[in-house]
Structure 1
Amino acid sequence: MTKLGNDFENFKTWDKENYFHPWEGLKVQGAGKADRTFSEYAEGIYVYDEHGNKVIDGPGGMWCMQLGYGNAEIADAMAAQARKMAYCSPFSEATSVSAEFAHAIAERAPGDLNRVYFTTGGSTAVDTAIRFVHFRNNLLGKPAKKRIITRAHAYHGGTYLTASLSGKPSERQWFDTDQVLPHFLPDVNAFRRPAGMSIEAFLDEKVADLENAILELGADNAAAFIAEPVLGSGGVIVPPAGYHKRCLEVCRKHDVLYISDEVVTGFGRLGHWFASEELFGITPDIITCAKGLTSGYAPMGAAIFSDRLFKDIEGDVSKDVYFTSGYTYSGHPVCAAAGLKNIEIFERDGILEHVRKVTPHFQKRLHQMLELPLIVDVRGMGLVGCIECSLTREGQASAGIDATIGAVIDARCQELGLMVRPYGNMAIFSPPLVITEAQIDDMFDMLTEGVQRATRELLEQGLELEQERA
């Protein structure tokens, strides 16, 4: 394990004073008192902090550490590529490793999704997808066909454009976003459906949401519908069975493109390269992916386009126009080398098959968590899960003490050796795909105890917990 020097207190000072982190609390940052855990060494599914404490990485980094930490093969492939060819301009040159990686992705993508546009991550992948949709409609003489339909609680990225399409209320309050481009549909979380409404009726309502929106906007104005197969950051919301297939049919009926945002679900999280076709029975027009693309070893994303989208804008009808959108690090050779080795290991070691094998046990342990009185709902699919907690049996509270429960659970779990991702009254987890059944048991044992400790802590504060469920 890496030993820390005597100057580690300097690192803490520099982190507080110089490193402006994502999701930085300004009350803390402004006072220079941010006190984060330092992750200094990692191996497999475990991360070690600056004190040498070993914890299971429940969130899998940020949904991305598919093969776990310390994979020497990926590190060696990156080092070899950096020595051979560290950079290649994607604007005017090509290099074999990036071309091979694009081909490998296209081979594994559904249908005729064969055009791979490399980006720097998930946000820029979605950003590129939207820009292409607009670009294409301009070439087709449809300048008004620009509106993008999205969902409440969806998350599509952190750029200005993609943040405008994201429906997580907590991330929109203090930022400016485009108020014209997006059209938001209501929540697709079945847990929030009205009392007495069946899943079938809820599904019908959600599909009708989409068609009504297209009719309201006008098909001449509605350009695309963007949807996560499973809404990850918004709380692991799994839409009702048949939802995506029926939504695709609505889009086809009205000439609206379907963008499947697989930044979280792609590359093994649900046991397949991509979830769209294998699990949801759809072949979208565009797929966006990132995170598991390189198992988190290098920053990379991709927007994958259907050949069909190019047939009416290329060749003689193209007007000699260029798609003048690009990134300095698109198709970066070192990142591509990491991605190619990632795919090689996935297939050699049967990672997708392993995920499908351990998923039933993971989901069984997840659903057993519902026996705890603090937990009002559990949601998950593949190796991703979420527990939603509330002091009220309805689980509807979104402010006050309920909004801090996730952080309390995370703190108690870290005492036991487990990190989770707190989000309001929820705790989310998406561990490395190499996790074993025994390690799944360890994780859920710690989570169970962490929730119980959090419950006792809340009760000791004089708060009351409604034990009965509706």
Structure 2
Amino acid sequence: METRPAAGHNRHLAHEAEVDKVHHLHPWEDLLNWRQSDRYMVSHGEGIYLNDADGRRLIDGPAGMWAVQIGYGRQDMAQAIAEQVMELPYASPWTTTSSPAASLSEKIASLAPAGLNNVMFTTGGSTAVDTALRTMHFLNNRLGRPDKKIILAREKGYHGSTYLAASVTGKERDKSCFDFEERLVHFLPDVNPYIRPDGMTMAQWCDAKVGDLETAIAEVGAHRIGAFIAEPILCSGGVVIPPEGYHRRTLEICRKHDILYISDEVVTGFGRLGHWFASEEVFGIEPDIITCAKGLTSGYLPLGACIISDRVMERMTGPDHEVLFPNGYTYSAHPVCCAAALKNIEIFESEGVLNHVLAVAPQFQDRLAQLGKSPIIGDVRGMGLLGCVEGLLDAGRKTPLETQRNMGAMLDAACEKRGLIVRPLINMCVFSPPLIITPAEIDQMFDIMEDALKEVETAFT
């Protein structure tokens, strides 16, 4: 149902949209259309819906940016934030601590795998990854191994936008003019089962991908490799789910060669797969370090965390070690952000959000699978409340390859007209709705996608 705002409110938002084009430099801005690209001018949100300047109500398919787990418009969250603002809006993490920070660190440690009990708060996912990688550098300097610094990462992986986090990101860089620290990273080939050769089984693909890690260690040298960073599911790379057993086997290899295993759970942490963390509960591994953000506060305020195992901390510390651990941020352990995270976790627990995800995920995945019947879709994949549709790319088809590559944007536009926001990625669309989505809303979302796909199909005939 559409709710039309007052005319004066409309005029104000229209003015703000024009001002935004002139002054606001957005993330991942397309400089070819500098100051011309249009974005949704969002006025407010409620539940799984966003309302734009024209009064349209749209399902937020990506949950903001994989983040708004508990949905929009939570008065209890607003109240918790307001109370903490009035009580203590800021505390220096260098000289003081606060009750929200202390309580949240204890709570996160209780939710993480048993051996991970040490939490350093950061400003978001990128800085959490930076902290994890710098921890590896610090550890190996501490142990007298200054050459053991190279990071193994994966093609299609995404780990952030700071210099170090971007350097270990394996997504396509063909349109980037940024520099990357290439001396510190070695990428493993794409792990996506969709690209495996015809006739290769999933077990054989897993063997080959584990073999990629072993080959990299042999080529680079274990004495030079400090860490392997891996998302349980490569979300921004297109919801790529490695083959069963891959995570466990790669962790075992890392342990054998004293290579830290960093699990980047910025997306999969806090409920996306129906568990607080996916590493142990879903994939059966206990990493050395876990990074998280996004769902930690359900996007209500920015906060990240780097969770370090006791094993790593014991090797970093000791009576003979007087060097500081010089890592942190002005807004580390921000008391208001920590209070928001505590309230977010409380809502998860009191409303049974994790059990809800486990209950509705089969319906979500079943409806996702049905999208694969479209003649322009090559693969559909997902887990929990994560999904991706990938269009066929074939240079031999009548449809121009460039049009095929634009399928994600075309599907996004077709969905948007019908009241659904999805996230286009070249020839793919990914979606990860708020975790509170109901069965009826799941059907509504996929009904829109099915109808939008029929429209897009006409461009491929």
TM range (shorter): over 0.9
Q: Which residue of 1 aligns with 2:417?
A: 415
SS in structure 2 of the partner of residue 7 of structure 1: helix
| CA–CA separation in structure 1 for the residues paired with 2:396 and 2:191 | 17
SS in structure 2 of the partner of residue 312 of structure 1: helix
| CA–CA separation in structure 2 for the residues paired with 1:360 and 1:37 | 31
| CA–CA separation in structure 2 for the residues paired with 1:398 and 1:286 | 45
| CA–CA separation in structure 2 for the residues paired with 1:48 and 1:414 | 12
What amino acid does structure 2 have at the position aligned with 1:430? S
Cα offset, 1:5, TM superposition = 5.3
Q: Which residue of 1 aligns with 2:12?
A: 7
Give the one of 426, 429, 435 matched to 1:427: 429
Q: Which residue of 2 aligns with 1:295?
A: 298
Give the one of 8, 20, 25 matched to 1:20: 25
What are structure 1's unaligned runs of at least 5 residues? Answer: 465-470
Q: Which residue of 1 aligns with 2:44?
A: 41
CA separation of 1:411 and 1:84: change in aligned 2, threshold 3 A: same
Q: Which residue of 2 aligns with 1:226?
A: 229
2:261 matched to 1:262?
no
2:141 matched to 1:115?
no
- Is the 8 Å Cα contact of residues 151 and 185 (structure 1) preserved in structure 2? yes
| CA–CA separation in structure 2 for the residues paired with 1:98 and 1:19 | 32
Q: Which residue of 1 aligns with 2:200?
A: 197
Deviations 1:246-271 (A, max 9, x none): 01011011111100000000000000
What amino acid does structure 2 have at the position aligned with 1:14? V
SS in structure 1 of the partner of residue 222 of structure 2: coil
Q: Which residue of 2 aligns with 1:386?
A: 388
What's the Cα RMSD here?
1.6
Q: Which residue of 2 aligns with 1:333?
A: 335
Q: Which residue of 2 aligns with 1:314?
A: 317
Aligned ranges 1:122-133 → 2 under 5 Å: 122-133=125-136
| CA–CA separation in structure 2 for the residues paired with 1:256 and 1:227 | 13
Q: Which residue of 2 aligns with 1:178?
A: 181
Q: Which residue of 2 aligns with 1:154?
A: 157
2:349 matched to 1:344?
no
CA separation of 1:170 and 1:179: change in aligned 2, threshold 3 A: closer
CA separation of 1:120 and 1:171: change in aligned 2, threshold 3 A: farther
| CA–CA separation in structure 1 for the residues paired with 2:456 and 2:99 | 53
Cα offset, 1:156, TM superposition = 0.6
Give the one of 368, 371, 374 matched to 1:369: 371
SS in structure 2 of the partner of residue 296 of structure 1: coil
Cα offset, 1:172, TM superposition = 6.5
2:217 matched to 1:214?
yes
What are structure 2's unaligned runs of at least 5 residues? Answer: none
Counting matched residue pairs gives 455
Cα offset, 1:46, TM superposition = 0.4
Cα offset, 1:198, TM superposition = 1.2
Q: Which residue of 1 aligns with 2:256?
A: 253
Aligned ranges 1:61-100 → 2 under 5 Å: 61-100=64-103
Q: Which residue of 1 aligns with 2:286?
A: 283
| CA–CA separation in structure 2 for the residues paired with 1:63 and 1:399 | 29
Give the one of 167, 170, 181 matched to 1:167: 170
SS in structure 1 of the partner of residue 320 of structure 2: helix
SS in structure 1 of the partner of residue 316 of structure 2: coil
SS in structure 1 of the partner of residue 261 of structure 2: strand
What amino acid does structure 1 have at the position aligned with 2:32? K
2:426 matched to 1:445?
no
CA separation of 1:399 and 1:84: change in aligned 2, threshold 3 A: farther
| CA–CA separation in structure 2 for the residues paired with 1:172 and 1:179 | 17
Q: Which residue of 2 aligns with 1:467?
A: none
SS in structure 1 of the partner of residue 183 of structure 2: coil
- Is the 8 Å Cα contact of residues 403 and 425 (structure 1) preserved in structure 2? yes
Give the one of 63, 87, 104 matched to 1:101: 104
Cα offset, 1:34, TM superposition = 2.3
- Is the 8 Å Cα contact of residues 58 and 416 (structure 2) preserved in structure 1? yes
What amino acid does structure 1 have at the position aligned with 2:437? I
Provide TM-score, normalisation by structure 2. 0.96
Deviations 1:301-334 (A, max 9, x none): 100000111212313131x111111100001111
Cα offset, 1:393, TM superposition = 9.8
What amino acid does structure 2 have at the position aligned with 1:20? L
- Is the 8 Å Cα contact of residues 398 and 425 (structure 1) preserved in structure 2? no
Deviations 1:434-456 (A, max 9, x none): 00111000000000111111111
| CA–CA separation in structure 2 for the residues paired with 1:242 and 1:415 | 41
SS in structure 1 of the partner of residue 117 of structure 2: strand
Cα offset, 1:111, TM superposition = 2.1
Q: Which residue of 1 aligns with 2:408?
A: 406
- Matched residues, percent identical? 53
SS in structure 2 of the partner of residue 295 of structure 1: coil
| CA–CA separation in structure 2 for the residues paired with 1:339 and 1:272 | 16
Give the one of 130, 141, 145 matched to 1:142: 145
What amino acid does structure 1 have at the position aligned with 2:268? T
